[in-house]
Structure 1
Amino acid sequence: MPERENLKRTEKLQLMLDEKELQAIDDWRFENRMPTRAAAIRELLRRGLIATPHFEEPDAEATTRDFGVVDETVEAALKSSADKS
C-alpha cells in the first residue's frame, strides 16, 4: 500500500446499509485482515474504481434503490471464496 503522509480526512460520508450488505462487508474485512470497517470500505471503493472500465455504465434512469451491495453475483463470489477457505 502506498504511504500517505499528512492525510487529513475532512469529509464524512453517511451510508445506510441493510444487514446483509453490512455482513458482506464485515466478512470481507475479516477475511482480508483489514484493520477497520472504514479501511475495508475504502479498499473496496478503490478496487471498484480501478475495475470501472470492466463494467457497463449504470442506467441513467435508476434510482438509489436500484443500487445495492449484495446481489446474486456477489453472493456467488462470496460463497466461492468461503468454499476455498
Structure 2
Amino acid sequence: MQDDNAKRSDRLQIMLTPEEIRALDDWRFEARMPSRSAAVRELLRRGLEAEGYFTRAEGGSASGSFGILNNKD
C-alpha cells in the first residue's frame, strides 16, 4: 500500500450504522488508535492484506455486501 508518511490527498466518505460505529470505536480504543480515520485505514489495510488485495471486490457488487458486521436477523 502507500507509505504511512505520504500525504493523503483523497477523501473517502462512508456511511455506517450505529452498531458499526460502536464496533469501530470499541476496536479503535482497544487498539489505542489515535482517530477513527486511523482505525479505518488500519482495518482496511488488514482486510486487503488478508484477502490478497482486492480479490473479493468483483464488479457489480453492491456496497451493502461489504459491511463491517453481518446482521443475521
The normalised TM-score by structure 1 is 0.65
Cα offset, 1:58, TM superposition: 5.5
Q: Which residue matches 1:75?
A: none
Q: Which residue matches 2:24?
A: 25
- 2:20 and 2:28 map into 1 onto residues whose CA distance is 12
Runs of 4+ in 1 over 6 A off after TM superposition: none
Q: Which residue matches 1:11?
A: 10
Aligned sequence identity (%): 46
Matches within 5 A, 1:65-84: 65-71=64-70
Q: How many residues align?
A: 67
Q: Which structure has the larger Rg? A: 1
Gaps of 5+ in 2: none
Q: Which residue matches 2:42?
A: 43
Q: Deviations over 1:5-28 (max 9, x none)?
A: 4x2111000100010111111100
Find the residue that maps to 1:33 and give its secondary structure: coil
Gaps of 5+ in 1: 73-85
More helix by share: 1
